Amino acid sequence: MEFIMLILSFLTAVILTPLVKKLAHKVGAVDKPNERKVHTRIMPRIGGLSVYLSFTLWLVVFQPDSLILWTVVAGGTLIMIVGFLDDLWELPAWAKLIGQIIASLIVVSGGIQIEFINLPFGSSIEFGMWSVPLTIIWIVAITNAINLIDGLDGLAAGVSAIALLTISGLAISMGDAFVAMVGLLLFGSTLGFLIYNFFPAKIFLGDTGSLFLGFMISILAILGFKNITVFSIVVPIIILGVPLADTFFAIVRRIVQNKPVHAPDKLHLHHCLIGLGFSHRTTVLIIYAISSIFALSAVIFSTATMWTSIILLVALSILLELLVEVTGLIGKRYRPLLNIFKAPER
């Protein structure tokens, strides 16, 4: 059944994307080149609509036996509409944030909340009254993290696909039918769209797609990892390591440079890799590879012993620090770890 769902959502997205491309040109939802963007020609940018339509169609058709189904559909639909309106008219940041918070409240009211996290040795932390604000912060953070990495052809869609495949695989291994179904349908839809979005792209996800994918991934992360016995919240953080790290270091970079946190720049991970001389396609493939390493690490972490988990986290931390220093993600002068191994000048 899982394979059938995957194929159906994939083929539907393949069929719908060219139609959405025509719609984008017709309604003027196009992305024009500027000094911050890599592309040099006008591109249609509501490609995420095909992902949303393919996913929602088959989710409703299969109708999983879950009370939260319509909560997920309602929240996802609202966030897609917010992104679609932004692709049409470029909404102010505050308007998009309000839309994200309202969509988050919809799913929270339906019972999707981070109520606790499991810790080693059978203990856990209960959040109580802090559960709702913590859940909203999580959803908004992941939604915007995926949105912020959508800077190269196929980047956000590909990284999202890797995360969705990992979440779905773990859900299947844990016997979570609902998360597995939702994850696979969204994975298939994203993969079908990626055929048209990988370099050289014929259509962009736009905020229609990047906000929707980030929103749905954040929900699946909440639903899928409550019962993992060791540091439950760490698993989805590892899976989403690349977009979360890129967002975190963008905030750090702007604070260090005395710039507003929301100020745009061309110093995200993909910009830095291109600045090192890598091609557009190679940069995307490098980030895919890094995302895959994090995803595989999350799978290992989910079943690892305490000490294996600690060693894995230390290794990932060192890898991430080296990536930041080599690429100049915070700044070209920030190289504390690399300077340790630097040969002394004579």
The stretch 89-98 carries a mean pLDDT of 92
Q: To 10 degrees, what angle do helices 131-148 and 241-256 make?
A: 90
Q: Which residues pair with 30 in a beta bridge?
A: 44
Render pLDDT for 165-212 as a digit per residue (tens, 0 to 9): 999 998 898 888 889 999 999 999 999 999 999 988 999 999 999 999
Render pLDDT for 208-255 as a digit per residue (tens, 0 to 9): 999 999 999 999 988 877 655 444 567 888 898 899 988 888 888 878
Tokens of 289: 């590879």
- With beta carbons less than 8 A apart as the criterion, state whether 41 and 62 touch: no
CA distance 194 to 41: 19
- Residue spans per domain, the chain: 2-340
Render pLDDT for 241-299 as a digit per residue (tens, 0 to 9): 899 988 888 888 878 777 777 777 777 888 889 988 999 999 999 999 999 999 999 88
Closest CA to 235 of 301, 166, 292, 173: 301
- With beta carbons less than 8 A apart as the criterion, state whether 132 and 141 touch: no
Contacts of residue 273, defined as CB under 8 A and 6 or more positions apart, other chains included, come to: 283, 286, 287, 327
Render pLDDT for 7-53 as a digit per residue (tens, 0 to 9): 999 999 999 999 999 999 999 888 876 655 555 678 899 999 999 99
More confident residue, 225 or 86: 86
**pLDDT value at residue 231:** 47
**pLDDT value at residue 35:** 59
- With beta carbons less than 8 A apart as the criterion, state whether 73 and 41 touch: no
- With beta carbons less than 8 A apart as the criterion, state whether 132 and 126 touch: no
**pLDDT value at residue 142:** 93
CA distance 97 to 15: 32
CA distance 54 to 12: 6
CA distance 288 to 166: 13
Out of 101-110, 260-269, 303-312, 333-342, give the one with best mean pLDDT: 101-110
